[in-house]
Amino acid sequence: MKFISILFLLAFVNIFGQTENQVASYNFPKIRSSITMPVTIPLSEISNMVNASVKDLIYQDDSYTDNNNDQFKVKVWKTRPIRLVGGTNQNILIEVPLKIWAEKGIGTLGLYTYQSTTFETVMSFNTSINLKNNWTIQTQTQTNGFRWVTQPVLDFGRIKIPITSLVEKSLKEQQEKFCRTIDQQMAGQLNFQNYAVAAWNAFSSPFHISEEFNTWLKITPINVHITPLKFYGNQINTSLGIDIFSETFTGSKPESSQLVKSASDFGFVSSLANQFLLQTTANVPFTEATSIARTMFLNKEYDVRGSSVKITDIKVYGVDDRIMIEAQTEGYVNGTVFISGIPVYSDLKKKIVLSDTKFKLKTSNILQKTATLLFRGKIIKMIEEEYGIPTQDLENNSKKSIEEAFNKEYYKGLKMSGQVFNLKPGNILMNPSGITAVIDTNASLKLMLNGM
């Protein structure tokens, strides 16, 4: 069904890949994410479907001589749209307002006097709905009696003949047939297997999410969980839980996944959380990390023992799981300084900063090595306190982008509304061309179907 495909689209529209075209291709970490989405199906949608399948003229008997020469004709119309109300036991109560025209002949030996009448009644049904884990809906509709609005009476002047029993007999027969019609229509219209296959295969080919950075995203749905249907007066509620893998690629387009011919059965769970955690990745190339360092430290002078040390060049790159800052210095300390640290996210500073900082000096002047102890402490403190890769703009832009994606009508009749409660980088990973931040997003999402 279309709404399943939207659930998967949400997982990739908010990926923030940032790499340069010149860097080598790199496959970012494979992130497992889960999306929880409450789904609301207004009963008006099912009502529209039922009304569309039932013609205004429901039943017609044009013969006086059938049914053992009963000398009776009848026509039954639907006067207003069929009304559906949610029950309390996974069922729907259905009311069908009817107008009935009847004509009855009175006489004998082939001589009859005919009189017609028009009256109204409300036909009631009780439909139980069972959502099967193979994406189909099973319904069982039973009759639930009549409610007369006006009694059926033939008026022959002095003789008034109630024909309730004749009318009820015909209506009961048609009501039984109508039960089967309702079940057949719902089984055909509410079979989601084909929609699930289409949605699953929609993600077989990776998405080109950034032409500027030549970034691709591949979404792989793993499984789906659904909570039991809950029936209310005017709607049916359930929740979907979808487990996915999201993978970010740069460079050439990755291979497509193999198409499926049938959607896997989903699993039932008693409940799902109202909020969900979605994880994506954002890459900060070392060129950008170097640019930040140059802005902060290049050509700046620092006092050491009454003398000065000037940073004349600086660059940032990765070594194993550590960020390496390589700075050229002149003055009191003349040489190459190597400062490395493990990148972590600081919620207080809203930056990716260095922890477990280590220092190394490469210089040809042996006498300077002793004199650099003070410089070592000063520059390490400076790096730890001042250097960092800001993430505030990333967080704000990400939140805005996600909420824009969560509050759209992607297809006619498919309305989504959502909110991001918290978004921040979690784990910080290293890759050959930069730093990969795993973005943790706490959000809620609601789906409503209109025009199904």
Residue 23: pLDDT above 80? no
pLDDT tens, residue by residue, 165-187: 777 777 788 788 888 878 887 77
10 vs 162, more confident: 162
58 vs 94, more confident: 94
10 vs 90, more confident: 90
Distance CA 284, CA 158 (A): 96
Residue 212: pLDDT above 60? no
Distance CA 178, CA 159 (A): 34
The lowest-confidence range among 202-216, 260-274, 322-336, 391-405 is 202-216
User: Within 13 A of 230's CA, how many CA atoms are on the CB side?
Assistant: 10
Residue with tokens 């749209």: 81
Asked if 181 contacts 127 with a C-beta cutoff of 8 angstroms, the reply is no
Angle at 252 between CA 251 and CA 258, to 5 degrees: 135
132 vs 210, more confident: 132
pLDDT tens, residue by residue, 261-294: 887 888 889 888 888 777 777 778 899 899 999 9
Residue 75: pLDDT above 80? yes
**Mean pLDDT highest for which of 155-159, 322-326, 418-422?**
322-326
Banded model confidence at residue 20, pLDDT cuts 50, 70, 90: very low
Continuous H helices in 244-320: 286-297
In degrees and rounded to multiples of 5, residue 283 shows phi and psi of -110, 130
359 bridge partner residues: 339
pTM of the model: 0.64
What mean pLDDT do residues 347-362 have?
A: 90
Banded model confidence at residue 5, pLDDT cuts 50, 70, 90: very low
Asked if 290 contacts 314 with a C-beta cutoff of 8 angstroms, the reply is yes
Q: For residue 3, what pLDDT is reported?
A: 36
Banded model confidence at residue 126, pLDDT cuts 50, 70, 90: very high
At 318, is the secondary structure helix, strand, or coil?
Answer: strand
Q: What is the mean pLDDT of the chain?
A: 79
| Contacts of 124 by beta carbon, 8 Å cutoff, 6+ apart | 93, 94, 95, 96, 143, 144, 145, 146, 147
Quick one: CA dihedral 7, 8, 9, 15, positive or negative? positive
Angle at 232 between CA 231 and CA 237, to 5 degrees: 55
Q: For residue 344, what pLDDT is reported?
A: 94
348 vs 195, more confident: 348
Closest CA to 360 of 339, 384, 375: 339
Q: For residue 124, what pLDDT is reported?
A: 92
The lowest-confidence range among 87-96, 174-183, 402-411 is 402-411
Beta-strand pair 159-162/153-156: antiparallel
What mean pLDDT do residues 72-97 have?
A: 86
| Contacts of 282 by beta carbon, 8 Å cutoff, 6+ apart | 15, 16, 17, 18, 394, 398, 425, 436, 437, 439
What mean pLDDT do residues 398-416 have?
A: 71
Span 43-189 CATH architecture:
Super Roll (3.15)
Q: For residue 65, what pLDDT is reported?
A: 78
pLDDT tens, residue by residue, 309-346: 899 999 999 999 999 999 998 887 888 989 999 999 99
The lowest-confidence range among 33-47, 68-82, 154-168 is 154-168
What burial class does residue 109 get, using C-beta atoms within 10 Å of its C-beta: 0-12 exposed, 13-18 middle, 19+ buried? exposed
Q: Which long-range contacts (CB under 8 A, 24 or more apart) does 369-374 make?
A: 371/305, 371/332, 371/333, 372/333, 374/304, 374/305
Residue 190: pLDDT above 50? yes
Q: For residue 4, what pLDDT is reported?
A: 37
Q: For residue 319, what pLDDT is reported?
A: 94
Residue 379: pLDDT above 70? yes
